[in-house]
Amino acid sequence: MTKGSQFCHERGRPFLEARALGKTYDVGGSTVHALREVDFTAAQGDFIVINGPSGSGKTTFLNLISAIDRPSHGEVRIQGVSTNDLNERQLATLRKEKIGLIFQTFNLIPVLSAAENVEYPLLLQRLPKSERMKRVQAMLDEVGLLDMAGRRPNELSGGQRQRVAVARALITRPKLVLADEPTANLDSETGGRVMELMQRLNEEHCVVFIVVTHDPAVTPYAQRKIRIHDGTLNEGADA
Amino acid sequence: MWWIPLRSLVRNRRRTALSIAIVALGTAISFFVYGFLEDSRLQIQASTVSEYGNLQIASPDLWEDTADGYEYLIEPETEAQVRTLLASHDGLTGITEQLQFPGLVAAGNETQVVRITAQVPENGTLTSDGFVIDGRPLQSTDVAAVLMGRSLAARLDVGVGDIVTLTLTTVDGAYNASPLQIVGIYGFSSEQVELRTLFMPLTFAQLLLNTAGVDRLIVNLSSIAATDREVVSIQQQLDQAGLALEARPWYDLSPIYQQLSGYFDILFGFLTLAVFILVFFIILQVLTLAFLERTREIGTIRALGTTQGEVFRQLIAESGWLAVLGSLTGILVGGLLGAGFNAIGIKWRPPGTVEASLLSVQITALTMLPPFLVGVAATLLSAVFPSIQTSRLRVVDALRVE
């Protein structure tokens, strides 16, 4: 596995920092600590794989660093800006411009075709139609779905949907991609192609990948491995 | 991104069809009733103008009923001055004089209090000629002739060619009486008008009253819509000429028109409110459920970077499509219903009238617009609350919904 690349000159520069990050939930009058005082740093060009048992806090951690949830305490800084200081609109802009999300359950928009789902983030960025079409075609080609462009999600298999979700996350060339079980619904060959695509983007464009997975086939792509257990992070431990 | 809301509507065809049907039903009912009321209003307008002319010029004492005796009469010199002023107006299609006064008409043992309308026969502006149902209209050669309403003729048991006696008070306060020959019987939509109003030649009426004056000048215009403009213009001329006369439009002269018009407005107002409430609450329910089912999808697009405002606009745009499609369908359905109703040709005789009138629905752009706007407004307003609520969902909570 290639770790680092000649194309990425910004590698190693801090991109995301979490300081004393914590999340608590009030469940039936008692406080549940989903994440406890976590310190974490991701530098540009990092490819990080996170694993841990169910209920260990993986999804909570992803939600907080992707700015779709707010911490109970501590903070997340993305390129030096604390998400605590941003309002809802600014958080949406941050997600739109810098973060790509891959959901375990695909979360495709059912009324849009595969190509339109991939195009959606570009519509939010108000890119011209010609530019959108060019990028969508290239991205669908990349994930091997060019011939499925016009199909709706319900006309695609689980693996094809996941590839559309991956294409949608990568289409805006985000600086940070957070993926929740990106290969869970893919066969080993397709899973390998998706991981190779991620790796290429990581190497060529310094995209930070933080992947939550139980798939052992993903682990070899990792530059850093983190295990979450009971809401705490333990770097370097394998699942 | 305008097509995304449209796609969402197409996704759940049954719910979309239900929503469109609800909006369409409300709009169609509103359009049908409004078209019917407007047609009635137009019929009353035309009838009122045919009865009063587009505008009348008279002394304020006549309008306000503050005159002592016949002090309000317009003498021939003044009338000539007014006619000279009016000659400069292009939109005028006719001017005539009228003199109204009370009297008693008797035939055999029956006596009836009446109001005589003395007019210039064959004046071409405002006559009772069109209402004659038996005998003939008044002619310029007539002297002691009268045109009687059919209800009064029936009450007095007289007909064309019979003689009745008219008793009246002259402008000097003396009593006068004259035999009059019935030359024609007229019919009118109102039984009260038929019972109370007699028409006779102006020159003979002036002779009976012992005056050369008239109490009003009646002006007809090429269109009803020009009335207000001409009233203002004529009034300015009258004031500049120092004439103590006042021009009044037809709708001010007919208290019945004003009452009915107000009644129609209230009726349509209540109907609009009922339709609005009906559409508002049903669509509110439908949209709330529809948006609730899409919570996870909304969470996803928010996670991808769509702002609350953009989500709100998408949901409102979706409702906008529903509103426009539903209201257009309603206008189409209401128009078809109205056309069908008009084709049947139903007649109805309102209380207090003697002739049935044709019930119909006005199908014009002007009668389509208010119901269309009501349908659109009710749908859009009903979408505001669920759209705000849905767009403000916490992303992480929305994504958890299965």
Digit-coded pLDDT (tens) for A128-182 = 999 999 999 999 998 889 999 999 999 998 888 988 998 999 999 899 999 998 8
- DSSP lists the bridge partners of residue A81 as A78
Can you tell me whether residue B290 is helix, strand or coil? helix
**pLDDT > 90: percent of chain B:** 65
- pLDDT (average), residues B339-368: 84
Of B263, B383, B271, which Cα lies nearest the Cα of B27?
B271
Listing DSSP states for chain A in one string gives ---S-TT-TTTTSEEEEEEEEEEEEEETTEEEEEEEEEEEEEETT-EEEEE--TTSSHHHHHHHHTTSS--SEEEEEETTEEGGG--HHHHHHHHHHHEEEE-TT----TTS-HHHHHHHHHHHTT--HHHHHHHHHHHHHHTT-GGGTT--GGGS-HHHHHHHHHHHHHTT--SEEEEESTTTTS-HHHHHHHHHHHHHHHHHH--EEEEE---TTTGGG-SEEEEEETTEEEET---
Q: Is the pLDDT reported for residue A6 higher than 70?
A: no
Quick one: closest CA in A to B310, which residue? Answer: A124
φ, ψ for residue A121, nearest 5 deg: -60, -30
Q: Could you tell me the two tokens for B10?
A: 């197409």
- DSSP lists the bridge partners of residue B165 as B106, B179
Distance (Å) of CA A154 to CA A157, A158, A161, B10, B378:
8, 9, 9, 15, 34
- Domain assignment present for residue A169? The answer is yes
Q: Could you tell me the two tokens for B347?
A: 């007649």
Pair B151, B185: CB distance under 8 Å:
no
Distance (Å) of CA B345 to CA B40, B175, B336:
14, 51, 15
- How do residues A190-227 score in pLDDT, each as one tens digit? 788 888 888 888 888 888 999 999 888 898 999 999 99
Q: Is the pLDDT reported for residue B113 higher than 90?
A: yes
Q: Which helix (H) or strand (E) segment is B289 a member of?
A: helix B255-293
- Domain assignment present for residue A69? The answer is no
Q: Which residue of B293, B304, B388, B391 is the best one to mutate when testing the A interface, meaning the one whose CB has the most A CBs within 10 A?
A: B304
Q: Which helix (H) or strand (E) segment is B200 a member of?
A: strand B197-201
Question: Within an 8 Å CB–CB cutoff, is residue A89 touching chain B?
Answer: yes
- pLDDT (average), residues B114-128: 83
- How do residues B180-214 score in pLDDT, each as one tens digit? 999 999 988 778 889 999 999 999 999 999 999 99
Min mean pLDDT across A70-74, B88-92, B212-216, B221-225 is at: B88-92
- Domain assignment present for residue A64? The answer is no
- pLDDT (average), residues B154-173: 95
Pair A23, A59: CB distance under 8 Å:
no
Q: Which residue of A23, A60, A109, A116 is the best one to mutate when testing the B interface, meaning the one whose CB has the most B CBs within 10 A?
A: A109
Pair A176, A62: CB distance under 8 Å:
no
Task: Give the confidence band of A1 by pLDDT, cuts at 50, 70, 90.
Answer: very low
- Domain assignment present for residue A177? The answer is yes
Total structural domains in chain A? 1
CA-angle at A130, arms to A129 and A132, nearest 5°: 60
φ, ψ for residue A150, nearest 5 deg: -90, 0
* Amino acid at residue number B256: I
**What pLDDT is stored for residue A84 in this prediction?**
94
| Interface predicted TM-score (ipTM) of this complex, two decimals | 0.90
- pLDDT (average), residues A115-136: 94
Of B324, B297, B298, which Cα lies nearest the Cα of B311?
B298
Quick one: closest CA in B to A116, which residue? Answer: B4
d(CA B204, CA B144): 7
- Domain assignment present for residue A11? The answer is no
Task: Give the confidence band of A2 by pLDDT, cuts at 50, 70, 90.
Answer: very low
Q: Could you tell me the two tokens for B282?
A: 């049903």
**What pLDDT is stored for residue A237 in this prediction?**
53
Range of the domain at A49: 44-56+93-235
Which pTM does this prediction carry?
Answer: 0.76
**What pLDDT is stored for residue A239 in this prediction?**
42
CA-angle at B174, arms to B169 and B175, nearest 5°: 55
d(CA A206, CA A1): 16
Q: How far is A122 from chain B (nearest CA, A)?
A: 10
- Domain assignment present for residue A134? The answer is yes
- How do residues B233-259 score in pLDDT, each as one tens digit? 999 999 999 999 999 999 998 888 888
Can you tell me whether residue B34 is helix, strand or coil? helix
**What pLDDT is stored for residue B352 in this prediction?**
56
Range A200-205 contact pairs with CB under 8 angstroms and sequence separation of 24 or more: A201/A170, A201/A173, A201/A177, A202/A45, A202/A47, A203/A2, A203/A4, A203/A5, A203/A7, A203/A8, A203/A45, A204/A5, A204/A7, A204/A8, A205/A7, A205/A8, A205/A173
Q: How far is A109 from chain B (nearest CA, A)?
A: 6
d(CA A177, CA A129): 24
d(CA A231, CA A36): 5
Question: Within an 8 Å CB–CB cutoff, is residue A104 touching chain B?
Answer: no
Neighbours of A165 (CB within 10 A): 28
Can you tell me whether residue B276 is helix, strand or coil? helix
Question: Within an 8 Å CB–CB cutoff, is residue A103 touching chain B?
Answer: yes
Q: Which residues of B touch A107 (CB under 8 A)?
A: 296-297, 299-300, 303, 399
Q: Which residues of A touch B307 (CB under 8 A)?
A: 88-89, 92-93
Residue numbers of A between 67 and 86 with CB closer than 8 Å to B: 68-69
Q: Which residues of B touch A152 (CB under 8 A)?
A: none
**What pLDDT is stored for residue A3 in this prediction?**
46
- pLDDT (average), residues B172-178: 93
d(CA B346, CA B341): 8
CA-angle at B297, arms to B291 and B303, nearest 5°: 125
d(CA A229, CA A233): 7
- pLDDT (average), residues B102-127: 89
- pLDDT (average), residues B14-25: 90
- Domain assignment present for residue A66? The answer is no
- Domain assignment present for residue A77? The answer is no
B396–A89 CB contact, under 8 Å: no
**pLDDT > 70: percent of chain B:** 97
A68–B306 CB contact, under 8 Å: no
CATH number of the structural domain spanning residue A138 = 3.40.50.300
Question: Within an 8 Å CB–CB cutoff, is residue B296 touching chain A?
Answer: yes
B307–A66 CB contact, under 8 Å: no
* Amino acid at residue number B313: R
Can you tell me whether residue B363 is helix, strand or coil? coil
Can you tell me whether residue B173 is helix, strand or coil? coil
d(CA B248, CA B255): 13
What's the whole-number average pLDDT of chain B? 90
Q: How far is B13 from chain A (nearest CA, A)?
A: 12
Of A219, A220, A165, which Cα lies nearest the Cα of A51?
A219
First vs last C-alpha separation in chain A: 19
**What pLDDT is stored for residue B388 in this prediction?**
95
**What pLDDT is stored for residue B127 in this prediction?**
67
Do the bridges between strand B145-149 and strand B55-58 make them parallel or antiparallel, or are there none, so unpaired? Answer: unpaired
Dihedral-angle region of residue B145 (phi above 0 means left; psi in -120 to 50 means alpha; beta otherwise): beta
* Amino acid at residue number B9: L
Do the bridges between strand A176-180 and strand B92-107 make them parallel or antiparallel, or are there none, so unpaired? Answer: unpaired
Task: Give the confidence band of A56 by pLDDT, cuts at 50, 70, 90.
Answer: confident
By Cβ distance, the residue of A66, A92, A94 closest to B306 is A92
Quick one: closest CA in A to B391, which residue? Answer: A88
d(CA B319, CA B299): 19
Task: Give the confidence band of B353 by pLDDT, cuts at 50, 70, 90.
Answer: low
**What pLDDT is stored for residue A94 in this prediction?**
94
A96–B297 CB contact, under 8 Å: no
DSSP class of residue B137 equals: -
What's the whole-number average pLDDT of chain A? 89
Task: Give the confidence band of A61 by pLDDT, cuts at 50, 70, 90.
Answer: very high
- pLDDT (average), residues A10-28: 89
